[in-house]
A and B are shown apart, each in its own frame.
Chain A
Amino acid sequence: MAIHDIHEIRILPAFAIARLGSSPEPMDNYDWEIPDPVGFRKLVPADTFYIDPKTGKILSRKKPDEVNFRDSKNRIKPISPFLEAWANFKKNGPLVPLTQKHLNDLGLTPSAIKWRVQLGNNKAFRRTKDPADKILADTGFYSDFIRKPLLGRCDNFLKGKKISFGFGQYIRPTPKFPEIRYRFTPARGYVYGPAPTKDQEKSNRFRNVLKDVVYDTHLGHWKGYQDLDSDPTTTAPASIFANSGSDPVKSLGYLDDECDGILELELQLKTKTLKAFARIVAGPPTFAPDGAPVRTVGDELEQALLGILLNEKVNRADIENILRRAMETVRLMNTTLMNHSVGMAWADSSQFGRTSQPIMDPNVVDNLAIVSRHEQVLLALESGSLAWFSRLLRHYNEVGDLTDEGRRKMPALMRGADGSHLALTRRMVQKILEAADLFQQHKHIVPGRKTKRSQ
């Protein structure tokens, strides 16, 4: 059915995460599968679009034979998300993918869609507070289908120098794939910086690090920068940048090609201009893609969006997801070491002056034993008898509790963004508490009918 108007447009997903990679081949799609209820997730290939880089057309959609994060030259494939235009055609109407046909109905072509990408890497600016240290890229609005380089410029760079944040491409709609899409391909994961000193030039450690010399130390002060104890805006812990390692800790002036920003879309209709935007970010590759951390940005966003309290019934799948992520996280931890000499065990004594003691009993923190404990928790969830689990959790206001009991709460041995012991978000804790209440309710069930077994 032909449409006569577009009421509203959106870009979905509203927030997309790209991951750096030096391969020219973008990463294929994959899904998480859970073949074993108490085991780890498995990655399985999923339908993937293959794009002609020159025309911007989708050539095919197929499932790769296997999931492979590196290309034939062992380079990491970048994760390059697609962002789609969605629209509703009347007030409170359903959101549907916007297609070339819809545009045609309104007498428009895909060129009526205009895209703009603005990206930034403000890591140096965040510390130096010098606006001239901001690295910014802006494509301006455009509507063609060729790859648009996303070049980061900075007032404190040497003349003509830029950092590539990757490229964007408006995907040309075709009869077979008529949807309006944009693809963001992030940068390759390079390090940039100021000219190395003579000493650094002699050292492999420094000589091979830099992709390019971009930073002008006569203009900016990122090289040699120090975090000040008196500055409340520094990170905790401070000085988490490439540094000289000496005391006082000074920045080497390094920069990377990570970035975040906004993708905008504009569509000019006869009587109005529709606008939408989405957020995009490029981060480092994941080296444990078959699992997820126990607390993620997704959890933060959910809490920021929906609040700390649940207004709806707790979803069992959510609880299972949290517990599975806990198991996946602990699988990657050297629990024996982290229990007494590094991480929080170290920080409690070195930063807070606590008596140096292991967090857990050293005899029971063997990694295999800890993973098996987490499996058993997942198993208990399967039978709906997880009521006791909630009392082991660390609450948000207990992250600085350095008593034996406080240090042993879950999640254990991990550090939060504030440098204290990690707690789940208040919303996550609320979910587990509510699930614990639900698990207390027992209902009669009718036993199953015997099918295969002989009577």
Chain B
Amino acid sequence: MKKNKPAYSRFSDHMQLVVPTRSKKKKDYFAYKPAKGWRNAPYDCLPLHNPPLCSHDEAIFFLHMASEVEHALMIQYLYAAFSLGGAQVPEDKRELVNSWRVKIMGIAREEMGHLITVQNILHSIGGPLTFQREDFPFDSKLYPFHFSLERMTKNSLAKYVVAEMPSEDFLKKNDPSLLKEMNIIKAIAQKGNKGKAINRVGMIYEKIQQLLDGVESEDFLKDSEKFQSPHSAWGTNDHKIIIETATNRADAKAALWKIAEQGEGEVISMKPSKEESHFERFLHIYRAFPAAGRWEASKHVPLNPSTNLPATDPDPSIITDEQALLWAQLSNQRYRMILLYLSHCLQMEIKPASFYGQLVSWTFGEMYNLRSISDILTTLPQQKGNRKGPRAASPFEFPYNLNLPAREMNKWRAHRDQLLNSRIIIDELLEYNDVAHAIYLKALRSADEQTLSVIKSIINQ
């Protein structure tokens, strides 16, 4: 029976927390005791679906959650990275700030790799893929922190450091002084998360590792490989981007372990020659990041920007400058395009002449476009009539849905529609005498025309 608890998210509606009993049956997660309450559960609680699901279904449930977390982290990191820089950064700090931007963009790219790996594991056990993302704000014991698009500050960085940290047990054993430092950072992070403790993302992966042990061997599908996206297609030749495929339990668990070690896992590698984990990269930036009141490393972009029409009361999150609003809408449109291209090509059988390569190229193209548009937005004013006020930013508003039509040809029609939607906004933007961006807009429209012609030829095949 469901417990009486507040409805925080699609996932938390279906869950309860349990306290690990550390029983003899270590692999049997049903051995855990339900925790008292939801909000006040101990830190080390593990989540469960309530009522319990069979292992296969619950593994899919948690993989979906992992996918949404990776998606949400990626967007929040991108938003924070785009906010870095600007004319207010002292001349002698610009190189440093730029290096932070590059590092965080790198982490966001790696989160994209994690997201694709999770989809591959979903393929491997025959689960449906997901590209959803929870809308903000919501509370959950599993999600690391309230989804919040905010400029990079010492406090927001504290949240990222804590979310990506290894377990306290690991730090206690391997680096007690770091644990001491982390306790201070955790307190700061909690303040930036409406007073709520930050959850370690690694908990979800630890749970999935356990659940995969309970999945029947025959549910790991050998023939799923032809649907799984390899690193060679998506990794842009960057070995830091982890994209793993799996057709058996051992490979699936190894893939998750790799993701966890790079990002959000219980442990981090202690080898001197290893690549820095996300936690370490964030921690290094955090230590060097200026505290409030000193110099400013990021632009004043809004908290959770929105393109919704303003209510009667002024809302600091809404973009009201007309031109910036159009750019923000264009950003939303291109974000939708990325998700639809990604959704389409990650669900298709990968083979030459399947247009898989074309979809991969277009997905990358839209990532470049989103970056370009986000950069442009942070140079534009957010508020109408306040040109020197805060800057606008990409709102990353989630589309009303991401469902692709069932028939293949209609999927291409959906892509065609997105390009036509985009053209409407571009044409509106081109009516502004904005010399600085007219060339980009015309080039974007021209590239879209070329994409449209390919899509039309596919539809008319």
- B63-92 Cβ-contact flags toward A at 8 Å (1 or 0): 000000000000000000000011100000
Query: A391 CA to B235 CA in the complex, in Å?
Result: 13
Residue contact B323 to A447, C-beta cutoff 8 Å: yes
Query: Beyond A39-B450, A453-B431, is A443–B379 a contact (Cβ under 8 Å)?
Result: yes
Taking each of B351, B375, B435, B451, which has the highest tally of chain A beta carbons within 10 Å of its own beta carbon? B375
- Across-interface contacts of A270 in B (CB, < 8 A): none
Residue contact B352 to A453, C-beta cutoff 8 Å: no
Residue contact B375 to A451, C-beta cutoff 8 Å: no
Residue contact A379 to B440, C-beta cutoff 8 Å: yes
A369 close to chain B: CB less than 8 A: yes
B446 close to chain A: CB less than 8 A: yes
Residue contact B365 to A379, C-beta cutoff 8 Å: yes
CB-contacts of B387-406 with A (<8 A): 387, 391
Q: Out of B324, B369, B432, B450, name the residue touching A449 (CB < 8 Å).
A: B432
Q: Interface size bucket, A side? A: 35 or more
A128 close to chain B: CB less than 8 A: no
- Across-interface contacts of B321 in A (CB, < 8 A): 447
Report the interface size for chain B: residues with CB under 8 A from the other chain.
64
Residue contact B85 to A442, C-beta cutoff 8 Å: yes
Closest beta carbon of chain A to B173's beta carbon, Å: 35
B238 close to chain A: CB less than 8 A: yes
A385 close to chain B: CB less than 8 A: yes
Q: Out of A37, A363, A380, name the residue touching B439 (CB < 8 Å).
A: A37
Residue contact B101 to A440, C-beta cutoff 8 Å: yes
- Across-interface contacts of B434 in A (CB, < 8 A): 447-448
Query: A415 CA to B365 CA in the complex, in Å?
Result: 27
Closest beta carbon of chain B to A369's beta carbon, Å: 4
Residue contact A378 to B443, C-beta cutoff 8 Å: yes
- Across-interface contacts of B447 in A (CB, < 8 A): 38, 375-376, 379
Closest beta carbon of chain B to A382's beta carbon, Å: 4
B34 close to chain A: CB less than 8 A: no
B316 close to chain A: CB less than 8 A: no
- Across-interface contacts of A39 in B (CB, < 8 A): 446, 450
Residue contact A383 to B376, C-beta cutoff 8 Å: yes
- Across-interface contacts of A372 in B (CB, < 8 A): 358, 361-362, 365, 450-451, 454
Q: Which residue of B lies closest to A360 (CB)?
A: B232
Query: A36 CA to B445 CA in the complex, in Å?
Result: 10
Residue contact A382 to B237, C-beta cutoff 8 Å: no
Residue contact B443 to A379, C-beta cutoff 8 Å: yes
Query: A377 CA to B447 CA in the complex, in Å?
Result: 11
Residue contact A368 to B454, C-beta cutoff 8 Å: yes
| Count of A-B contacts judged by CB separation below 8 Å | 154
Taking each of B237, B351, B376, which has the highest tally of chain A beta carbons within 10 Å of its own beta carbon? B237
Query: A392 CA to B447 CA in the complex, in Å?
Result: 22
A364 close to chain B: CB less than 8 A: yes
A446 close to chain B: CB less than 8 A: yes
Residue contact B237 to A363, C-beta cutoff 8 Å: no
Residue contact A373 to B378, C-beta cutoff 8 Å: no
- Across-interface contacts of B371 in A (CB, < 8 A): 380, 385
Query: Beyond A369-B358, A442-B375, is A451–B352 a contact (Cβ under 8 Å)?
Result: no
Residue contact B324 to A36, C-beta cutoff 8 Å: no
- Across-interface contacts of A446 in B (CB, < 8 A): 387
B309 close to chain A: CB less than 8 A: no
- Across-interface contacts of A360 in B (CB, < 8 A): 232
Query: Beyond A39-B446, A392-B236, is A366–B368 a contact (Cβ under 8 Å)?
Result: no
Query: A443 CA to B86 CA in the complex, in Å?
Result: 7
Residue contact B361 to A373, C-beta cutoff 8 Å: yes
A51 close to chain B: CB less than 8 A: no
Closest beta carbon of chain A to B111's beta carbon, Å: 16
Q: Out of A36, A378, A385, A388, name the residue touching B375 (CB < 8 Å).
A: A385
B131 close to chain A: CB less than 8 A: no
Residue contact A368 to B352, C-beta cutoff 8 Å: no
17 A-B Cβ contacts within 8 A?
A363-B350, A364-B356, A364-B360, A368-B358, A369-B358, A373-B364, A375-B450, A376-B368, A376-B369, A379-B443, A380-B368, A408-B237, A440-B102, A444-B86, A444-B87, A450-B433, A453-B432
Leading 7 A-B pairs by shortest Cβ distance: A448-B434, A383-B372, A376-B365, A361-B232, A369-B357, A364-B357, A453-B431
Apart from A39-B450, A363-B351, A444-B379, 9 more pairs, CB < 8 Å: A38-B443, A372-B361, A372-B365, A379-B372, A379-B447, A380-B368, A384-B372, A442-B379, A447-B324
